[in-house]
Structure 1
Amino acid sequence: MVLSQIDAGKALSSAAAKGKMSEVQRILEECRVHPDTLNEFGRTALQVMMMGNSKIASLLLEHGADPNVQDRQGIAPVHDAARAGFLDTLQVLVEYGASVNIPDQNGTLPIHIAIREGHRDLVEFLAPRSNLKHANTSGHTAVDVARASCVPDMIDLVFAHLHS
Structure 2
Amino acid sequence: MMVLDGFGRGKSLGAAAARGNVDAVRRILQDHRLQPDALNEFGKTALQVMMMGCTSVASVLLEHGADPNVQDRCGVTPAHDAARTGFLDTLRVLVEHGASVNVPDHSGALPLHTAIREGHGDVVEYLAPLSDLGHRDGHGADALAVARDARSPEMVELLERLSRSS
Instruction: Please state which band the TM-score falls in when normalised by the shorter chain.
Output: over 0.9
What residue number does 1:6 align with?
A: 7
Structure 2 Cα separation of the partners of residues 107 and 153 of structure 1? 23
- The TM-score, its normalising length taken from structure 2, stands at 0.96
What residue number does 1:145 align with?
A: 146
Structure 2 Cα separation of the partners of residues 42 and 153 of structure 1? 38
Which blocks of at least 5 consecutive residues in structure 2 are unaligned?
A: none
Q: Which deviates further from its counterpart, 6-15 or 141-150?
A: 141-150
What residue number does 1:69 align with?
A: 70
1:149 offset after TM fit, Å?
A: 2.0
What residue number does 1:56 align with?
A: 57
- The TM-score, its normalising length taken from structure 1, stands at 0.97
Q: What's the RMSD between the two structures over aligned residues?
A: 0.9
* SS class of match (1:98): coil
Matches within 5 A, 1:107-122: 107-122=108-123
1:31 offset after TM fit, Å?
A: 1.2
What residue number does 2:85 align with?
A: 84
Partner amino acid, structure 2, of 1:117: E
Which blocks of at least 5 consecutive residues in structure 1 are unaligned?
A: none
1:93 offset after TM fit, Å?
A: 0.2
What residue number does 1:43 align with?
A: 44
Partner amino acid, structure 1, of 2:13: L
1:2 offset after TM fit, Å?
A: 3.7
Partner amino acid, structure 1, of 2:5: S
Structure 2 Cα separation of the partners of residues 75 and 36 of structure 1? 16
Aligned residue-pair number = 164
* SS class of match (1:153): helix
* SS class of match (2:36): coil
Partner amino acid, structure 2, of 1:29: Q
1:21 offset after TM fit, Å?
A: 1.1
Structure 2 Cα separation of the partners of residues 153 and 57 of structure 1? 30
What residue number does 1:106 align with?
A: 107
